Every structure is written in C-alpha cells, then in structure tokens.
Amino acid sequence: MQVIKISAVALVLSLLVADIAMADQVDDGLAAQAQGDFATALALLRPVAEQGDARAQNSLGIMFAHGSGVPLDPVEARKWYLLSAAQGYGAAQFNLGQLHRLGQGVPKDYAEAAKWYRLAAEQGYVEACFNLGVMYANGDGVALDNAEAVKWYRLAAEQGYAKGQFKLGVMYDFGRGVAQSDADAMTWYRRAADQGHATAQNNLGAMYADGQGVGQDYVEAMMWFILASKSGDPDAPQSIDMARRLMTPSQMDEAQRRAQAWQPQRGG
C-alpha cells in the first residue's frame, strides 16, 4: 500500500515537472518570437504546440498568419488558432475573429467574426471587446445595437484601451446608445487624448473651443489641436486655423508652450 502511495506521488511530481518544463519552453519561444528570432521560436513552439499547449498553438498561428519564419499561410494559421481557441484561449479566439472579419484564409464572414470576438470578449480580452463594440455600432454580423456597442466599448475603455475610450466618448457626445452627456464625453475623450489618441485630442480641443461641457478656453483648445495635428489627425490643421483667428499672440505662445510640455499617459 505504501509503495502505491509513493508511486502516485512520484507520478504527480513528474507530471508537474513536465508541465513546468513545457511552460518554460513556451516562454522561451515567445521571447524569441518577440525578438524576431523566428527560427528559434519555431523550433521551441512547434513541439509543445503539437503536444496541445494553447499558448504555443496561438503563437504558431500568428507566425503562419504573418509569414514570420514560415511561409505565409492563413489556412495553417487558422488550424492552429482553432486548436488553441478550442481550449478557451482568448487571444486565439480573437485571432480567429480577425481572420473571419478580414477574410484571410476563409471567406469574409462578419457573423463568424462576431462569434469569436464574443468568446474572447467574455473573457475580458480588450481588443475583442472593442471590435465587438464596433460590430454592434455598424451592424456588421449582428443587429445594429448602440446600447450593446456602448457596453463593449465601456469594457474596453475601463481597461485603459484608448480606442475604446474614444468611441465611448463619441457615444456620449452624440447620445448613441446612452443618454447624451457632455461631461461624460469629455471624460472619455480626455482619457483617450491623454494617451495620444489623435482624434480624441481634436474632439477635446473642439469642446474647449466651443465651451461644450466645460468653460470656453481657447488656449487649452489650441494645445489639444496642436497635439492632434502632431499625432496625425486630418482635421486638426483646420481646427488650428479656425482657433488661431480668435486668439492673441500671447495666447498662442501659451498654447504652444503647453503642447511642448505635454507628455502622454499610458493606460489612462
């Protein structure tokens, strides 16, 4: 009886050691992949992917999807994503959604994309939350539903995702799927703008210029317009020209000083 107990303990310990070794191998493979050493990544990840490791399967799918160290092959990418997603791995579920939304290796299918995004989003996968919100806002693969879009944008925004924060600001700004609120629009625009989101910066500047939900402040408006222009917002140069006509040279100097001193805040 004692021998059986000892053997059982030894078996458990050996399995634990094997799991740790596999996890370490995956970590090493992911590190090599991140460094662009795809040959090493492939050598480390494929064996454990074939043994059923979900992270390795997803990473192998990414390599085939982008042709990183292997021939570009979206069909092979989908095979590995499916194996990983079947184990509930959120990143793989999101990646499958991407394949179906973009029609890479499979026919473009928004409904199928929404299905996979939802599975990932229900685990809190931030990009899936955002993309699912976009699909509800546009009626792509699902019935158009602004309230549902707001729900998923909010889940992304609350994780600090700048695109989600911006979209949530838009929904409050225009009262789509939620009661119109200048204060809430400004809150979410600012959180996205603080991270460097160009259009959020331009929209925040417009709110200051118009006194929408905040005291009118052309200096603060111009600061955000300048930042938006530097970040690449296509409407920002026109915003700058319009606001400049209403400002004194000293106000312009102050706006430029603030823009130069500004620093992005990540994950706001």
169-187: b (≥16 Cβ within 10 Å) or e: bbbbbeeebbeeeeebbbb
Residue at 132 is within a domain: yes
pLDDT over threshold 90, residue 8: no
pLDDT value for 23 = 83
Q: Which two structure tokens, joined as six digits, stand for 209?
A: 């210029």
Residues 267 and 169 in one domain: yes
Indicate if 164 and 227 belong to the same structural domain: yes
Q: Considering the domain boundaries, does residue 126 fall inside one? A: yes
Q: What is the amino acid identity at position 97?
A: G
pLDDT digits (tens, 9 = 90+) for 97-134: 999 999 998 999 999 999 999 999 999 999 999 999 99
pLDDT at 19: 66
CA distance 132 to 126: 10
More confidently predicted of 91 and 22? 91
Percent of the chain with pLDDT over 70: 92
Whether residue 139 is found in the same domain as residue 172: no
CATH of the domain at 137: 1.25.40.10
pLDDT tens figures, 129-165: 999 999 999 999 999 999 999 999 999 999 999 999 9
15 within some domain: no
98 in a domain, yes or no? yes
Residue 13's pLDDT is 46
Q: Within this chain, do residues 82 and 97 fall inside the same structural domain, yes or no?
A: no
Query: Is the distance from CB of 26 to CB of 55 less than 8 angstroms?
Result: yes
Shared domain for 83 and 98, answered yes or no, is no
Judged against a pLDDT cut of 90, whether residue 182 lies above it is answered with: yes
Range of the domain at 245: 160-268
Asked whether residue 1 carries a pLDDT value surpassing 70, the answer given is no
Residue 8 inside a domain? The answer is no
Residue 267 clears pLDDT 80, i.e. is over it: no
Provide the pLDDT confidence category of residue 208 given band limits of 50, 70 and 90: very high
**In a domain? residue 171:** yes
Task: Indicate the number of domains in the chain.
Answer: 3
**Same structural domain, 220 and 249:** yes
Tell me, yes or no, whether 12 lies in a domain. no
Q: Is the pLDDT of residue 166 over 70?
A: yes
Q: How many CB atoms lie within 10 A of CB 4?
A: 8
> CB of 177 within 8 A of CB of 154?
no
Q: Is 94 found in the same domain as 83?
A: no
Question: What was the pLDDT predicted at 10?
Answer: 46
**Quick one: 102 and 117 in the same domain?**
yes
Residue 248's pLDDT is 97
Query: Are residues 198 and 252 located together in one domain of the fold?
Result: yes
- Given this model, what pLDDT does residue 59 score? 96
Average pLDDT, the chain: 93
For residue 46, pLDDT beyond 80: yes
- Distance (Å, whole) CA 168 – CA 240: 25
